[in-house]
Amino acid sequence: MIVSPSLPRAVVGVVVVACVALLWTTRPSHRTSSSGDPPPPSGGNTAAPAPFGKGFLKSIVPKASAPQTNDLSQSQLIAQLLDPKESLTARRAAARALARSGAEDAMEALECVLRDGPAQLKAAVAEALGECPSPGARPLLLALAKGPDETTARGAMRGLAALGDAAASDMLASSLFDEKKSTALRTEAALALGSVREPAALDALTRAVREIRDETILNHVLDGLGHRPFAETEAVFIEFLKRDDSTTASRVAAIEALGHVPDSASTFILGYGNDPNQELRAAAAWALTTADNPGEIGPQLLGWLQQESDSAVRLRLYQALSHQDAIASSAVLPSVQRETDDEARVAGLGLLADTLRTDGNPDASRYFDSTAVAELKNTVLTSGRLDQSLAAIMALDRAGTPAALAALNEIAQHPTDPPCRTAAQQALKHHGGN
Amino acid sequence: MIRKTIIALVAVMATLLSVAHAGLASGSYTVEFDGNVTLWDLSGTYSEDIGGLTFDYTLSVDPAGKITGYGSANYAGSYGIGIDMTFNLNGTVSTAGSVTRVTLNMVMKGSGLVHGSTINFSASIKENMEIDTDASTLVGTTSGNISLSASGLGSFGEKIPPTDVTLDLPYDMDGTWDLTLTPATRGSKVTGTGQITLSNGSVFGFSITGTYAVRTDLSKIAMKGLPTNKAMSANIVANFSKAGMNVKSLKGKALGQTITYTGGT
């Protein structure tokens, strides 16, 4: 069954397909088969697993990540793209597949959508043209990026980023510095430049950091820079963060942008743990929460947490610690027990739940069940804040202890906000409930 | 005598003016923003199903627009396949002009069983989306990396190519919101409370301070988020009358989004 493709489903789809395919490869009847037909179920197959190679995984990932276009012919893709009754998701997926083919009839269909399609579909077409091998794609992209439809123009800018060459970089830089263009377009150009590997793109962003004063655009320039390797942007960030005329809001944006770097900026970010400005400290902790590769910095974060005086920063530190492996609940427990701020406490209890699920520390479990569960349940039922209520439900879900599940069960049946009831019901389902 | 009369007349006129002026804010006033200026809260529960595979997660968006979340994916199928994964999510909501952008990062770890053999999974996924205000959906692309490892089978990693994503926002989230101010004016000083109520029922409180100018009949009010939502703030210029609050301009920050409104007559 195909439902609209969201990211998680695509990923899980990959996993499931991988498992199924792996299973098939382990079956003697399938080892040499190239057919896509599933083998009949049978029990008792004890054959040793056969190795699967990179080629196998490679072959299934693109299929699983674009389930809406799997096995469709070019004409079927065109029909899907042009059918207004199809979902936007299906039409966007068809547009991407057609653009990747670059065939003549595909280009005609894409141009048809660009004339008459809804804005978000036109934007998807424009973005997909960045992956199009047809020689007609580039001039079309350049025209769309300058066109009057802003949503499409932003899609075209993302397409130019996918092209990633010097001409695309020039076009994006020109848009970024064009004060006649809207904020939405200029920020899109800044973000797009962040993913263009051309040296000219880095030059444009560096110049923008020095010249642009509009805070919204500047913050997106910093965000764009943050998507480039820290090794090539470190000097720019250092210069900006030391500048006298940098506002706190933009410094916050700069530090948070470092959470996106593809390499690691953890050492640099941790340096802001001692900054007198609590907003910068909170930004640093958040950057370490979002970092792909923060490294093993649990001990440093715990040390920082123990001496942090601002509750908003402690909240972010609990969140950052939740993304660290191998944090012992015994190391977290004292800080959580001392925590007095309501929001930070919910985040701290969420962290404690994470850690005790891993190590099952009896002291932490006892504290969680005897104190935290009732407190989290009370937050859900009385805080009046959906974000806090959901954070509390997630903490109970993470812990998964019998007491936590009993509390979730109560919430699931309580005449409280429907979103909380639904979240509790979903958490219970994860733990085997209904 | 003449001087005293003039002073008395001025005093009477000033009193009459202050009584006649509708601009002295007092009481409770609510303005509904029904689409011209939107505020989006992604907090909620998301769930998807494919042939017995369930994928559930919850997102919480704080007043600064920072997203945190937690989810799980479970599958128990034929051929001895079982998967159990949990994952953390984080991300941000931000506004630039007319566009509200949402980024989501997902870090997944888990294990599955295939014929009794354990396979470990990990994935790092990034979604770059924006809110389609007409459809109340998140629209964008996703990409990332996934790796699999199994004892005796080695480990393998692959990139997930850009893939289109559309996610429905929670059913009660349509971007509309109400602004309620309860000011009290003494002389030229305005104090009081305020609140923002989102379409999903979430309420955020504010303290308000400001000034009232007789000459323009306008109140300039600064809204400051309460300690529980101090990341939210706004500046408002408004005229108050028995007919209600007429917002001339509003600029603020809430849930990571910039609110800008110019209007009123």
Tens digit of pLDDT for each residue in A119-134?
999 999 999 999 999 9
Q: What pLDDT, on the 0 to 100 scale, is given for residue B73?
A: 75
The burial of B78, by beta-carbon neighbours within 10 Å (0-12 exposed, 13-18 middle, 19 or more buried), is given as exposed
Q: Evaluate whether A155 touches A185 at the Cβ level (below 8 Å).
A: no
Q: What pLDDT, on the 0 to 100 scale, is given for residue B4?
A: 55
Contact flag A16-B62 (C-beta cutoff 8 Å): no
> In A, which residues are within 8 Å of B163 by CB distance?
5, 7, 10, 65-66, 93, 96
Q: Please tell me the distance from the alpha carbon of residue A33 to that of residue A25, in angstroms, as a whole number.
A: 9
The burial of A84, by beta-carbon neighbours within 10 Å (0-12 exposed, 13-18 middle, 19 or more buried), is given as exposed
Q: What is the CA A256 to chain-centroid distance, rounded?
A: 14
Say which range, A79-88, A168-177, B153-162, has the weakest mean pLDDT: B153-162
Q: What pLDDT, on the 0 to 100 scale, is given for residue A134?
A: 95
Say which range, A339-343, B31-35, B257-261, has the weakest mean pLDDT: B31-35
| Count of domains observed in chain B | 2
Give yes or no: residues B94 and B107 share one domain: yes
The beta-carbon neighbor of B160 closest among A11, A350, A423 is A11
Q: Which residue has the higher pLDDT, A83 or B117?
A: A83
Q: Evaluate whether A6 touches B166 at the Cβ level (below 8 Å).
A: yes
End residue of a domain, out of B168, B188, B219? B168
Say which range, A3-12, A166-175, A412-421, B71-80, has the weakest mean pLDDT: A3-12
**What residues form DSSP beta bridges with B111?**
B84, B120
Contact flag B166-A386 (C-beta cutoff 8 Å): no
pLDDT digits (tens, 9 = 90+) for A211-263: 999 999 999 999 999 999 999 999 999 999 999 999 999 999 999 999 999 99
Q: What pLDDT, on the 0 to 100 scale, is given for residue A371?
A: 97
Contact flag B164-A96 (C-beta cutoff 8 Å): yes
Tokens of A424: 């509790």
Comparing C-alpha atoms, which of A180, A76, A69, A186 is closest to residue A128?
A69
Kindly state the average pLDDT of the residues A16-28. Answer: 40
Comparing C-alpha atoms, which of A68, A92, A65, A72 is closest to residue A9?
A65
Tokens of B213: 């100018």
Q: What pLDDT, on the 0 to 100 scale, is given for residue A352?
A: 97
Which of A2, A56, A65, A292 is the best residue to mutate to test the B interface, defined by the most B CB atoms within 10 Å of its own CB?
A: A65
Q: Judge whether B57 lies within some domain.
A: yes
End residue of a domain, out of B168, B183, B211? B168
Question: A395: distance to nearest CA of chain B, Å?
Answer: 9
- Is beta strand B257-262 parallel, antiparallel or unpaired with respect to B189-198? unpaired
Kindly state the average pLDDT of the residues A288-314. Answer: 95
Give yes or no: residues B51 and B156 share one domain: yes
Kindly state the average pLDDT of the residues A89-116. Answer: 94
Q: Which residue has the higher pLDDT, A68 or B220?
A: B220
Q: Judge whether B8 lies within some domain.
A: no
pLDDT digits (tens, 9 = 90+) for A352-380: 999 998 888 999 999 999 999 999 999 99
Give yes or no: residues B111 and B183 share one domain: no
3-state secondary structure A191-250: HHHHCCCCHHHHHHHHHHHHHCCCHHHHHHHHHHHHCCCHHHHHHHHHHHHHCCCCCHHH
CATH number at residue B242: 2.40.128
Comparing C-alpha atoms, which of B87, B32, B89, B85 is closest to residue B61?
B89
Q: Which residue has the higher pLDDT, B16 or A316?
A: A316
- Residue A61 pLDDT more than 60? no
List the end-to-end C-alpha distance of chain B, in Å, as a whole number: 44
End residue of a domain, out of B168, B194, B218? B168
Q: Could you tell me how many residues make up chain B?
A: 265
Give yes or no: residues B139 and B67 share one domain: yes
Hey, which residues 274-303 in chain A have their CB within 8 Å of chain B? 286, 289-290, 292
Contact flag B158-A61 (C-beta cutoff 8 Å): yes
Residue A428 phi, psi (nearest 5): -65, -35
> In B, which residues are within 8 Å of A96 by CB distance?
162-164
> In B, which residues are within 8 Å of A162 by CB distance?
162
Residue B103 phi, psi (nearest 5): -115, 140
- In chain A, the residue whose alpha carbon lies closest to the alpha carbon of B126 is A7
Give yes or no: residues B122 and B229 share one domain: no
Contact flag B164-A20 (C-beta cutoff 8 Å): no
Tokens of B113: 């069983």
Which of B163, B169, B202, B226 is the best residue to mutate to test the A interface, defined by the most A CB atoms within 10 Å of its own CB?
A: B163
Tokens of B115: 């014929």
Tokens of A221: 């320039």
Comparing C-alpha atoms, which of A379, A375, A404, A406 is closest to residue A390?
A379
Comparing C-alpha atoms, which of A324, A241, A253, A310 is closest to residue A283?
A253
Burial B185-195 (b: 16+ CB within 10 A, else e): beeeebebbbb
Residues 6 or more apart from B227 whose CB is under 8 A from it? none
What ipTM does the predicted assembly reach? 0.86
Give yes or no: residues B192 and B161 share one domain: no
Q: Please tell me the distance from the alpha carbon of residue B79 to that of residue A43, in angstroms, as a whole number.
A: 8
A252/B contact by beta carbon, under 8 A: no
Q: Judge whether B219 lies within some domain.
A: yes
- Residue A21 pLDDT more than 80? no
A258/B contact by beta carbon, under 8 A: no
Q: Judge whether B199 lies within some domain.
A: yes
Q: What pLDDT, on the 0 to 100 scale, is given for residue A398?
A: 94
Q: Judge whether B6 lies within some domain.
A: no
The beta-carbon neighbor of B75 closest among A16, A66, A319 is A16
**What residues form DSSP beta bridges with B211?**
B189, B220
Which residue intervals of chain B are DSSP H helices?
2-20
- Residue A209 pLDDT more than 80? yes
Q: What pLDDT, on the 0 to 100 scale, is given for residue A104?
A: 94
Residue A30 phi, psi (nearest 5): -110, -10
Tokens of A348: 């701290």
Q: What pLDDT, on the 0 to 100 scale, is given for residue B53?
A: 55
Give yes or no: residues B66 and B164 share one domain: yes
Residue B5's pLDDT band, with cuts at 50, 70 and 90, is: low
Q: Which residue has the higher pLDDT, B47 or A4?
A: B47
A370/B contact by beta carbon, under 8 A: no
Give yes or no: residues B130 and B236 share one domain: no
- Residue B15 pLDDT more than 70? no
Contact flag A11-B125 (C-beta cutoff 8 Å): yes
Q: Evaluate whether B254 touches B66 at the Cβ level (below 8 Å).
A: no
Q: What percent of chain A has pLDDT over 70?
A: 83
The DSSP symbol for B26 reads: B
Q: What percent of chain B has pLDDT over 90?
A: 51
Q: What pLDDT, on the 0 to 100 scale, is given for residue A32?
A: 27
Contact flag A6-B132 (C-beta cutoff 8 Å): no
The CA distances from residue A35 to A54, A67, B197, in Å, are 19, 19, 57
Q: Please tell me the distance from the alpha carbon of residue A342 to that of residue B227, in angstroms, as a whole number.
A: 11
Which of B38, B41, B57, B60 is the best residue to mutate to test the A interface, defined by the most A CB atoms within 10 Å of its own CB?
A: B60
The DSSP symbol for B97 reads: T
The burial of B21, by beta-carbon neighbours within 10 Å (0-12 exposed, 13-18 middle, 19 or more buried), is given as middle
Q: At what angle do helices A386-399 and A402-413 cross, to 10 degrees?
A: 140
pLDDT digits (tens, 9 = 90+) for B115-128: 677 778 788 888 89
Contact flag A127-B141 (C-beta cutoff 8 Å): yes
Kindly state the average pLDDT of the residues A160-165. Answer: 95
A3/B contact by beta carbon, under 8 A: yes
Measured over the CA atoms of residue A53, residue B55, residue A430 and residue A358, the dihedral's sign is positive
Q: What is the pTM of this model?
A: 0.87
Q: Please tell me the distance from the alpha carbon of residue A288 to that of residue A307, in angstroms, as a whole number.
A: 18
Amino acid at A194: G
Amino acid at A102: G
> Which domain, by its residues, includes B59?
44-168
Mean residue pLDDT across chain B: 84
Residue A8's pLDDT band, with cuts at 50, 70 and 90, is: very low
> In B, which residues are within 8 Å of A312 by CB distance?
230
Q: Please tell me the distance from the alpha carbon of residue A57 to that of residue A71, in angstroms, as a whole number.
A: 18
> In A, which residues are within 8 Å of B123 by CB distance?
11
Question: B60: distance to nearest CA of chain A, Å?
Answer: 5
Q: Judge whether B11 lies within some domain.
A: no
The beta-carbon neighbor of B142 closest among A4, A10, A87 is A10
Tokens of B224: 């400051």
Give yes or no: residues B213 and B105 share one domain: no
Give yes or no: residues B238 and B189 share one domain: yes
Q: Judge whether B140 lies within some domain.
A: yes
Contact flag B48-A23 (C-beta cutoff 8 Å): no
Q: Evaluate whether A290 touches A322 at the Cβ level (below 8 Å).
A: no
Q: Which residue has the higher pLDDT, A26 or B131?
A: B131
Which residue intervals of A246-361 are DSSP H helices?
248-257, 266-270, 278-290, 298-307, 311-321, 329-338, 342-359
Residue A64's pLDDT band, with cuts at 50, 70 and 90, is: very low
Contact flag B165-A7 (C-beta cutoff 8 Å): yes
Question: A239: distance to nearest CA of chain B, Å?
Answer: 25
Question: B249: distance to nearest CA of chain A, Å?
Answer: 19
Q: Which residue has the higher pLDDT, B119 or A136?
A: A136
Give yes or no: residues B127 and B61 share one domain: yes
Mean residue pLDDT across chain A: 86
Q: Evaluate whether B148 touches B119 at the Cβ level (below 8 Å).
A: yes
Q: Judge whether B93 lies within some domain.
A: yes
Which stretch of DSSP H or E encloses residue A406? helix A402-413
Contact flag A57-B258 (C-beta cutoff 8 Å): no
Contact flag A1-B51 (C-beta cutoff 8 Å): yes
Residue-by-residue DSSP string for B40-64: ----EEEEEEETTEEEEEEEEE-TT
**What residues form DSSP beta bridges with B103?**
B92, B128
Give yes or no: residues B49 and B31 share one domain: no
